[in-house]
Structure 1
């Protein structure tokens, strides 16, 4: 029995020594990381960072030299005995840690000798304390919010060559803010372009909008934004709405939804996701990309009655610019997409704003494979809302056909023998045929437009607004949709598909949906509606917190600060928000309309810490960027950004949107999460593996 206790004590002693070796290596690695983080922080702020020995957090001084940082894991004093360099220490500790836990006498002897040389000894109390510290360190690492770019985000970086860059959209930023405010329960996530870890650990979010400062202005004066460049590592190209609409602030203001607002929207629209989409204009960014000519009529007066029999606006089925890019629709954007769609033409030179009365046209194309290795247009059909065929023609591809794809296209060599019309002829005829506010309808219409080599701003895709699988990315075939909802059998001809038949089916499906409601034909929205109805009938109130994750903080406060007056539409949004505030005394949205940009910045610095989300909208004019004013303007903006950054609390997210210039629709999105040296070291430790 005594021998067993000896072996047990021996194994426990080895475990202590291995734990101590791990702690020593963690300490050495953290020391290096912390030193790097402090140097980076000092470079960003121009201040000297030193440790606060009372609580382990850093404090900022201005003239003193930095001292050594208190380690995240404290090794007991008797254990720090060697004066070798860091690399030698790591080697020795690695050797100690790698000792086998077997009962080998040789291993025991070498372990004992090494421990004695390094004077590594732990009492039982020190052993327990060390375990506690390591557990605490792991918890700290788990509580650090981080932002990591995914492939789409990396492609948007302004560090990428222009010809390879694909911008993100304002909707992407909105989804990021939704995730920051609500966390995992957010109905809109930024997963398309980034991954936000530990969103609920963010202390608050501060957004600064610089209307009038475009991507061109920034890149032309990038070196002059000295402090700004030190703050931000994430710098992305972004497409923003036209400046004249002032819709940047309006779009951002629709992000924070209180619990009561969300509950009401769910009642009206079946799900929060559909509600968020319903209150947005899907063409907002499309207007910044395509040549849409406004007629000067205020947006509120453009709204008209719905066509007879339709239950909701057809414009709500239009794809947004973000959806069009994701689905591969041809878009007149710069960078990689401009090369991909080189040679494509617009369906009109200029477009009119789309309305609830804009006419819809069903479109379908058939293609054959050519010698260049891809499919080219061989037939196109267009039908109107009266289900009349208004355009139908065969097209001779530019390149030689090598596969007619007859089972799908219905095209044969005999059919193509007498065809002389080419794709340029088709493009000219389509441009003459379509009105400037036409809405094109089709199943996976991106393939048809690519075959036509044409770009169009207003499209409804039946593969996206109908869904039978309950999975958004898994699309249902047109043949199945037609049988399910129209009770019509299509694509049964053994000689191939009929493009007139397919275009009619797509148009009929959309009209059927408009007659029945937004959830019709969409299993995802239908399921959410069912769940909500069940919970509502059961008298449950948890639906609010389940969707918005506001169990502890209920309604989050938002501040909107702007130079000048907001549009009436924006004020209406705020009024509606206030109508549903739970507290009678606490305002959910605070609005400050100030007369100068400087006063707006000062107000933001004053109240940012009191709100979960602070949006500050500054307005710059053309005169600010004239040659004799540019340096002064840039210096002033750089100073304001730096001051606002100093106001942001630790773990706060700071987002600067530069854009809205009438000369350039592209802007810059800069994003940073503020961390002290301890948090920065923790983040580096989480992303950098420790080798034992």
Structure 2
């Protein structure tokens, strides 16, 4: 007779369990109602996110519920726990969200990037270059396989998690327009975290499409091409991916000159043209040379002078002059020029003078400069006198030679287009970032001991630089270069410095790793990009699409359609001068278009809007935003 009793017992147990569940549910309802009353200002957030208060924290203090007079528990202040499937589901959701955040791409500015942001006062800001943005785009597509890295100014982590990278270029609009009509760019201002000034190519007679599309060859690429084609000139002629390009920042006569790599007319002692050792415009930027670029001249280099008013084209017979300067620390805390020496190719010192700084010397730095108070006692020549001397005696096609020559030109407060830097053309470390001292190079290659006395001697140092350059010209282009010539070490540098005299396609670089790219531009813009994709226009490149539209609105519409179909998208529109007459309307419309692009892009994506600048009208601005689900 145990059957009915067992059934009754089970029924009682089920009823008890139901009562417990109902009691727990009532507790949760009470707590939720309490939360709603306390958090009215955050009601919307509670609707989107789970109620995490329902999970008891491991460190929470446990307490025994009070009992009422009838013996039941007073649970008004008990914090219940989720159990069973509901708790497991919530844990899974939290775990998935944590993994998404952990694996989400991350973008941040480094010091160089921070100094270019619009948050910095204009007089203290150091704008980036278009090549910096180009390096970020390439890295976002192929990562470490990119020939150049954007680490100079920014960091992009988990680049391979990006669904797309989208760049919208606006021609004929500059940083000035953004700052003058900021109220018309409400969406751009509010939704793009990073706002950066960059030097517009228009400020130095450049072309934004050309400079964005063309990537200077790295040393590794050059070596491969030379092994395949014999010379870089032959590679540029026969390879559809290689372009010949020269960039000038200086006022140079536009008269025809023989090619840089010509062999005819070389000095008897030279095995190749000395013009091949010249730093390119890109390398001069990398090595921090002062350059007459609009935006920098007015601020950073306001008191700098050109070595000549006008320059002739450099040739394989252009004279070389070795330059070296010594500096002392003055009351301003900065280093100022105290001695300059110049030596010619016959190893004759034809200019050597001490210079009295504009401010009082507080540290002669004798152990480095070789200068002491006795030497400077009767010196009257000032920096402006030295500048005038050099402007008068230097030829207008002279090639300046020196070790870390940018430091000397900054000390002279002068700018020059043709330079050979021994710290660049010689490398015995196998790492471009680690440069050898002039003393080490002289000992290794000239078998000479320099700087063995009390400090440096500018005569001795300038002569050593001249001898090192002449030695390389007697040998071969890669002599003394561990990266290019595979001497001393097989270690390769990343990124290794090549030359901007020859370049390859940025879009081709970005689509090396099964990536795809699209370009859509107004009028003939897309055709220009297509040329830099492949010089042979009859050959179709299937993973790069170039489309032309007849209107800005058409470009934006097509650009939005492509955003989630290609890994890299470039759109280029042009605001006409007539539209700028009604700037408020034009910029308000532009801001709406930017909002459309932002809304169409699937997360996570890297969005960039670039105001390309105006000719003689100010620098450009680049607005960057990593658009992702979790910030």
Indicate how the Cα distance of structure 1 residues 523 and 266 shifts in structure 2: closer, same or farther if over 3 A, else same: closer
Q: Partner of 2:201: helix, strand, or coil?
A: coil
Alpha-carbon distance, 1:456 to partner: 3.4
Indicate how the Cα distance of structure 1 residues 668 and 180 shifts in structure 2: closer, same or farther if over 3 A, else same: same
- Counterparts of 1:311-460 in structure 2, within 5 Å, are 314=275, 317-318=278-279, 320=281, 324=285, 329-330=289-290, 341=301, 343-351=303-311, 359-370=319-330, 373-385=333-345, 387-401=347-361, 404-411=364-371, 415-416=375-376, 419-460=379-420
1:498 equivalent among 447, 452, 457: 457
Identify the residue that residue 608 of structure 2 maps to in structure 1: 655
Structure having the larger proportion of residues in helix? 1
Question: Do structure 1's residue 592 and structure 2's residue 577 form an aligned pair?
Answer: no
Structure 2 residues not aligned, in runs of 5+: 1-30, 68-72, 233-240, 493-507
Q: Which moved more, 1:393-402 or 1:376-385?
A: 393-402
Indicate how the Cα distance of structure 1 residues 392 and 659 shifts in structure 2: closer, same or farther if over 3 A, else same: same
Question: Do structure 1's residue 563 and structure 2's residue 522 form an aligned pair?
Answer: yes
- The normalised TM-score by structure 1 is 0.67
Q: Partner of 1:190: helix, strand, or coil?
A: coil
Alpha-carbon distance, 1:168 to partner: 1.3
**Once the two structures are superposed, what CA deviation does each residue of 1:337-380 show, in whole Å capped at 9, x if it has no partner?**
96665533332345566677765432101234455555432321
8 Å contact kept, 1:346–1:455: yes
1:159 equivalent among 111, 116, 119: 119
Identify the residue that residue 98 of structure 1 maps to in structure 2: 59
Distance in 1 separating the partners of 2:314 and 2:562: 40
Identify the residue that residue 622 of structure 2 maps to in structure 1: 669
Q: Which moved more, 1:201-210 or 1:215-224?
A: 215-224
Indicate how the Cα distance of structure 1 residues 416 and 153 shifts in structure 2: closer, same or farther if over 3 A, else same: closer
Alpha-carbon distance, 1:140 to partner: 0.8
Alpha-carbon distance, 1:668 to partner: 0.4
8 Å contact kept, 2:203–2:616: no
Question: Do structure 1's residue 630 and structure 2's residue 583 form an aligned pair?
Answer: yes
- The normalised TM-score by structure 2 is 0.73
- Counterparts of 1:258-269 in structure 2, within 5 Å, are 267-268=224-225
Indicate how the Cα distance of structure 1 residues 190 and 510 shifts in structure 2: closer, same or farther if over 3 A, else same: same
8 Å contact kept, 1:282–1:318: no
Question: Do structure 1's residue 241 and structure 2's residue 201 form an aligned pair?
Answer: yes
Identify the residue that residue 641 of structure 1 maps to in structure 2: 594
Q: Partner of 1:223: helix, strand, or coil?
A: helix
8 Å contact kept, 1:558–1:588: yes
Indicate how the Cα distance of structure 1 residues 523 and 253 shifts in structure 2: closer, same or farther if over 3 A, else same: closer
Question: Do structure 1's residue 210 and structure 2's residue 164 form an aligned pair?
Answer: no
Matched length: 559
Identify the residue that residue 566 of structure 2 maps to in structure 1: 611
Distance in 2 separating the partners of 1:342 and 1:451: 14
Distance in 1 separating the partners of 2:74 and 2:406: 69
Distance in 2 separating the partners of 1:238 and 1:526: 36
8 Å contact kept, 1:310–1:516: yes
Say which one has the larger Rg: 2
Distance in 2 separating the partners of 1:283 and 1:248: 14
Indicate how the Cα distance of structure 1 residues 243 and 320 shifts in structure 2: closer, same or farther if over 3 A, else same: closer
**Once the two structures are superposed, what CA deviation does each residue of 1:58-78 show, in whole Å capped at 9, x if it has no partner?**
xxxxxxxx896543x687xxx
Q: Partner of 1:610: helix, strand, or coil?
A: coil
Q: Partner of 1:656: helix, strand, or coil?
A: strand
8 Å contact kept, 1:482–1:490: yes
Identify the residue that residue 44 of structure 1 maps to in structure 2: none
Distance in 2 separating the partners of 1:152 and 1:631: 33
Distance in 2 separating the partners of 1:610 and 1:527: 46
Q: Partner of 2:564: helix, strand, or coil?
A: helix
Alpha-carbon distance, 1:217 to partner: 2.5
Identify the residue that residue 156 of structure 2 maps to in structure 1: 196
**Once the two structures are superposed, what CA deviation does each residue of 1:151-195 show, in whole Å capped at 9, x if it has no partner?**
222221223321222211112101211221013443422222222
Distance in 1 separating the partners of 2:449 and 2:158: 50
Distance in 2 separating the partners of 1:111 and 1:392: 95
**Once the two structures are superposed, what CA deviation does each residue of 1:314-355 show, in whole Å capped at 9, x if it has no partner?**
46752656864x755445678899666553333234556667
Identify the residue that residue 47 of structure 1 maps to in structure 2: none
Indicate how the Cα distance of structure 1 residues 135 and 529 shifts in structure 2: closer, same or farther if over 3 A, else same: farther
Q: Partner of 1:654: helix, strand, or coil?
A: strand
Alpha-carbon distance, 1:238 to partner: 0.7
Alpha-carbon distance, 1:134 to partner: 3.1
Identify the residue that residue 176 of structure 1 maps to in structure 2: 136
- Counterparts of 1:509-524 in structure 2, within 5 Å, are 509-513=468-472, 515-518=475-478, 520-523=480-483
Distance in 2 separating the partners of 1:339 and 1:644: 35
8 Å contact kept, 1:292–1:353: no
Indicate how the Cα distance of structure 1 residues 162 and 649 shifts in structure 2: closer, same or farther if over 3 A, else same: same
Q: Partner of 1:242: helix, strand, or coil?
A: helix
Structure 1 residues not aligned, in runs of 5+: 1-23, 37-65, 81-92, 101-106, 533-547, 684-692
Indicate how the Cα distance of structure 1 residues 353 and 146 shifts in structure 2: closer, same or farther if over 3 A, else same: farther
**Once the two structures are superposed, what CA deviation does each residue of 1:420-466 show, in whole Å capped at 9, x if it has no partner?**
43222111011123344544332222332232232335444333443
Alpha-carbon distance, 1:213 to partner: 1.4
8 Å contact kept, 2:253–2:310: no
Question: Do structure 1's residue 488 and structure 2's residue 448 form an aligned pair?
Answer: yes
Indicate how the Cα distance of structure 1 residues 269 and 138 shifts in structure 2: closer, same or farther if over 3 A, else same: farther
8 Å contact kept, 1:115–1:121: no
8 Å contact kept, 1:513–1:521: no
8 Å contact kept, 1:479–1:489: yes
Distance in 2 separating the partners of 1:244 and 1:342: 16
Distance in 2 separating the partners of 1:595 and 1:252: 22
8 Å contact kept, 2:260–2:275: no
8 Å contact kept, 1:382–1:390: yes
